[in-house]
Amino acid sequence: MKKNIAKMLNDQVNKELFSAYLYLEFNNWLMDQGFTGFAHWYRIQAMEERDHAMLIYDYLHHNNETVDLQAIEQPNTEAQSVLDILKAGLEHEEYITASIHDIYEVALKEKDYRTKEFLDWFVKEQGEEEANANDLIDRATILGDDRKALYIMNGELATRAYAPPSLTIT
């Protein structure tokens, strides 16, 4: 694997672990506000982010590359409402999508078709994550300040089940 691609994938491990950390912070904030269903949704999301990090971690090892584990930045949440959290979630996913696309572009340029194929799963996954984030924002925006309705949505989100990633590294 080319050094520049290995470096970008290493950085992506850190970004995915930070995503897990950020969503745990969202979980914290939402639990404190009593929105346990929304909190649960982000707790599951944090588990998925850890899975993303581990997939890239395993892919690097599978390609005989060293994984350079870097410090994870402290997440910072300055939310005033559930909607603020949901918007911050979407903004973060857009940042991650751009980062995955950057690696994808370099993989294509370097003719690293194995990495390109590996990243295909992530490109699709990011599409789904942005769609989910947008959907949550749309629904919470319609509800506005109606805390009773938000509470019903909260109950619905409490049912989200964890599913391991469909991708495996062999």
Toward ligand FEO, which CB reaches closer, 126 or 150?
126
Shortest Cβ 163–ligand FEO spacing (Å): 14
Q: For residues 92 and 116, which CB has a smaller minimum distance to ligand FEO in the complex?
A: 92
Least distance between ligand FEO and beta carbon 93 (Å): 5
| Shortest reach from residue 45's CB to ligand FEO, in Å | 7
Backbone angles phi, psi at 74, to 5 degrees: -75, 125
**What is the helix, strand, coil percentage profile of the chain, to 5?**
75, 0, 25
Nearer to ligand FEO, 91 or 117 (CB): 91
Least Å distance between CB 69 and ligand FEO? 17
Residue 40 to residue 160: CA distance in whole angstroms:
8
Over the window 54 to 83, marking each residue x when it contacts ligand FEO by CB under 6 A and - when it does not, the resulting string is ------------------------------
Least distance from C-beta 16 to ligand FEO, angstroms? 5
- Verify binding: residue 112, ligand FEO, rule CB under 6 A: no
86 binds ligand FEO (CB under 6 A): no
Long-range contact list for 72-78, CB < 8 A, 24+ apart? 72/14, 72/17, 72/18, 72/21, 73/18, 73/21, 74/21, 75/18, 75/21, 75/22, 75/24, 75/25, 76/25, 77/22, 77/25, 77/26, 77/28, 77/29
Hey, which residues between 6 and 35 contact ligand FEO (CB under 6 A)?
Answer: 16, 19
Rounded-to-integer distance, Cα 167 and Cα 9, Å:
16
Cα–Cα distance measured from residue 130 to residue 124, given in angstroms and rounded to the nearest whole number: 10
Residues found near ligand FEO in the complex (CB under 6 A): 16, 19, 49, 52, 93, 96, 129
